[in-house]
Amino acid sequence: MAWLWRFLFGYLTIKIYGDFGELLLNKAAKNGIKIWNLSYSKGVITGNILIDNFFKLRNIRHGTRCKIKIHKRHGLRFFTNKYKNRIGFFIGLLMFCGVLYALSNFIWVINVEGNEKLTTKEIISSCKKIGIYEGVPKTKINSKYDSQRLQLTQAGIAWCSFNIEGSVLTVNLSEIAVSDKEERKTPSNIKASFDGKIKKINIASGNVVVKVGDTVSKGDLLVSGVIQNHSSTLFVYSDGVITAETTRTFSAKGNYEQKILTETDNIIKRYTLNFFNLNLPLYLGNIKQQHNYNVNIKHLTLFDNKIPIKIACEKYEILQESTVIYDKETLKEILYSDINRQVSDFNFINIIEIKNEILETEKGMLLNVTYSCEENIALQDKILLNTQN
Amino acid sequence: MLNTQIIKGSHIEIFSNKTLILEECYGMVDYRENYIKLKLKKGFINLLGTNFLISEFDNNRIVINGNISSLEFCV
């Protein structure tokens, strides 16, 4: 610690000239004046001394026939003196400290620990959904409440906690032990995905709140995932099939003359530097042609620790536009295949009736297909927690 | 344990031929580039060598670093 003391209060490198330098050193030692790193070269003694002791040494040098000269000045005191007229330097130093203090109130790096099956990207994405991301103020993080919200948002988490160290947030978690066949499930209700009349109820878990014969509208609660026990409240994943009679109409519209986009070999790469969540594009201009876009982000590390600097590589695949003219039959086939694609998204249990309607439009045709059918209208809806804290 | 009642005088420690620590040093009699003469309670000690650097000299304690080639007591 002596070096720190000497640096803060300043010290001098002095040169002692004269034939009786050792006499002066003896006097200094007797008077408690500390001189260190003494060396002798060509009749001159060089050593280091504290500033206060230097003045004492000057007072006791009489009678030794020695001359003392300051060779170098060291320490913070002289460093600041050197720059005392440079106000900008001190303003810069103050601003640096201020900015450093301000930035230390934010989260700049998020680390995830304890994940095996879930990817770090998935968890960081879930954190973002609940308002925890790189650049969020530390005060906005309520560890207890947010860890519960993360459990509800991201399926497969048995337990998690948030630990903040400086500007680094570490998400510690343990995953639910599930077999490969079993799906990761989050607590949820079942709501109606479409208007209909309930025909059959087949529930594996959850609390059923409707009965067969009921007419329900889209969004109505069918099965609740909140089960009140004697002493506690359980949140469960509601599972089951609710069959209802529904009527759905699918439409597809197309022109005889259509513009289609085809991929080309022209691929443009552009880089962006993300510095403390501030995006700095490393390119000029923008791409006006139609394109497919994908981005690859690389997080920079220093000594195996992530730092809040990222480099994003954006890839633009340029598309070419061309015009195609279809005849009536071909267009009809395209529209039917479009309807089939829409229908394939639904898992109809039983189709009762199908009605087709083709309308000629000014430039093409409109196809309406109405399905009367039985389908599963159970729609999973995650349970959201709400708190004042 | 040394019995200090029996062994009186200056306490000298030497680490190889590189460092010498002397307690109860009563002053420096001569100081040159390759030669240092120190006063003890009784007599003197002469050091010959090169690259001498006195890293500490106060309160009757002196620490000398360098390449010590010879050490001589003059009692």
pTM value? Answer: 0.43
Ranges A125-134, A355-364, B45-54, most confident = B45-54
CA closest to B32 among chain A residues: A40
Poorest-pLDDT segment among A43-47, A79-83, A341-345, B4-8: B4-8
Task: Report the alpha-carbon distance of residue B39 to residue A90 in Å, rounded.
Answer: 51
Q: Do A32 and B59 touch (CB under 8 A)?
A: yes
A117: nearest Cα among A156, A148, A160: A156
Does residue B7 carry a pLDDT above 80?
Answer: no
Q: By the CB < 8 Å criterion, does B57 face chain A?
A: yes
> In this structure, which amino acid lies at residue A194?
F
Q: Do A21 and B57 touch (CB under 8 A)?
A: no
Task: Report the alpha-carbon distance of residue A114 to residue A175 in Å, rounded.
Answer: 8
Nearest to A22 among B30, B52, B53 (CB): B30
pLDDT of amino acid B6: 61
Residues forming beta bridges with residue A245, ordered by sequence position: A197, A374
pLDDT in tens, A212-227: 999 999 999 999 888 8
pLDDT classification of A183: cutoffs 50, 70, 90: low
Q: Do B27 and A26 touch (CB under 8 A)?
A: yes
What is the rounded average pLDDT of the residues A253-261?
A: 87
pLDDT in tens, A98-123: 999 998 899 988 889 988 888 888 89
Nearest to B55 among A21, A36, A45 (CB): A36
Task: Report the alpha-carbon distance of residue A227 to residue A203 in Å, rounded.
Answer: 15
Chain A CB contacts of B29 below 8 Å? 22
CA closest to A39 among chain B residues: B53
What is the rounded average pLDDT of the residues A252-260?
A: 88
Chain B CB contacts of A19 below 8 Å? none
Chain A interface mutation, best of B30, B35, B58, highest count of A Cβ atoms under 10 Å: B58
Does residue A236 carry a pLDDT above 90?
Answer: no
CA closest to A41 among chain B residues: B33
Chain A interface mutation, best of B19, B54, B63, highest count of A Cβ atoms under 10 Å: B54
> In this structure, which amino acid lies at residue A258?
Q
Does residue A238 carry a pLDDT above 50?
Answer: yes
pLDDT classification of B5: cutoffs 50, 70, 90: low
A42 vs B9 pLDDT, higher one:
A42
pLDDT in tens, A268-314: 899 999 888 788 888 888 888 888 888 888 888 888 778 888 899 99
pLDDT classification of B51: cutoffs 50, 70, 90: very high
A179 vs A316 pLDDT, higher one:
A316
Poorest-pLDDT segment among A98-107, A338-347, B16-25: A338-347
In chain B, % of residues over pLDDT 90:
63
Does residue A237 carry a pLDDT above 90?
Answer: no
Structural tokens at position A132 = 């925890």
CA closest to B53 among chain A residues: A39
A254: nearest Cα among A368, A369, A363, A329: A363
Task: Report the alpha-carbon distance of residue A331 to residue A352 in Å, rounded.
Answer: 27
pLDDT of amino acid A44: 93
Q: How many CB atoms lie within 10 A of CB A280?
A: 9
Instruction: Show the CA angle centred on residue A85, arms to residues A81 and A89, nearest 5°.
Output: 90
Mean pLDDT, rounded, of chain A: 87
pLDDT classification of B20: cutoffs 50, 70, 90: very high
Does residue A347 carry a pLDDT above 80?
Answer: no
B1 CA: distance to closest CA in chain A (Å): 30
Q: Do A29 and B32 touch (CB under 8 A)?
A: no
Does residue A152 carry a pLDDT above 80?
Answer: yes
In the stretch 15-54 of chain B, residues with CB closer than 8 A to chain A read 27-33, 52-54
What is the rounded average pLDDT of the residues A200-214?
A: 89
Q: Do A40 and B52 touch (CB under 8 A)?
A: yes
A147: nearest Cα among A162, A136, A126, A169: A162
Instruction: Show the CA angle centred on residue A371, arms to residues A368 and A377, nearest 5°.
Output: 125
pLDDT in tens, A14-49: 999 988 888 999 999 989 899 999 999 988 999 999
Chain A CB contacts of B27 below 8 Å? 22, 26, 29
Q: Do A38 and B33 touch (CB under 8 A)?
A: no
Q: By the CB < 8 Å criterion, does A39 face chain B?
A: yes
CA closest to A25 among chain B residues: B28
pLDDT of amino acid A180: 47
B44 CA: distance to closest CA in chain A (Å): 15
A238: nearest Cα among A193, A184, A188: A188
Does residue A385 carry a pLDDT above 80?
Answer: no
B8 CA: distance to closest CA in chain A (Å): 22
Chain B CB contacts of A31 below 8 Å? none
pLDDT classification of A389: cutoffs 50, 70, 90: very low
Q: By the CB < 8 Å criterion, does B67 face chain A?
A: no
Handedness of CA A23, A29, A33, A39 (dihedral sign): positive
What is the rounded average pLDDT of the residues A198-207?
A: 88
Chain A interface mutation, best of B26, B28, B36, highest count of A Cβ atoms under 10 Å: B28
What is the rounded average pLDDT of the residues A130-134?
A: 88
Q: Do A40 and B31 touch (CB under 8 A)?
A: yes
CA closest to B65 among chain A residues: A37
Q: Do B30 and A36 touch (CB under 8 A)?
A: no
A13 CA: distance to closest CA in chain B (Å): 13
Residue whose pair of structure tokens reads 């998690």 in the numeric block:
A160
Poorest-pLDDT segment among A31-35, A184-188, A284-288, B43-47: A184-188
pLDDT of amino acid A381: 87
Cβ atoms A340, A355 nearer than 8 A: no
Q: By the CB < 8 Å criterion, does A2 face chain B?
A: no
Ranges A109-118, A160-169, B12-21, most confident = B12-21
Cβ atoms A79, A14 nearer than 8 A: no
A111 CA: distance to closest CA in chain B (Å): 48
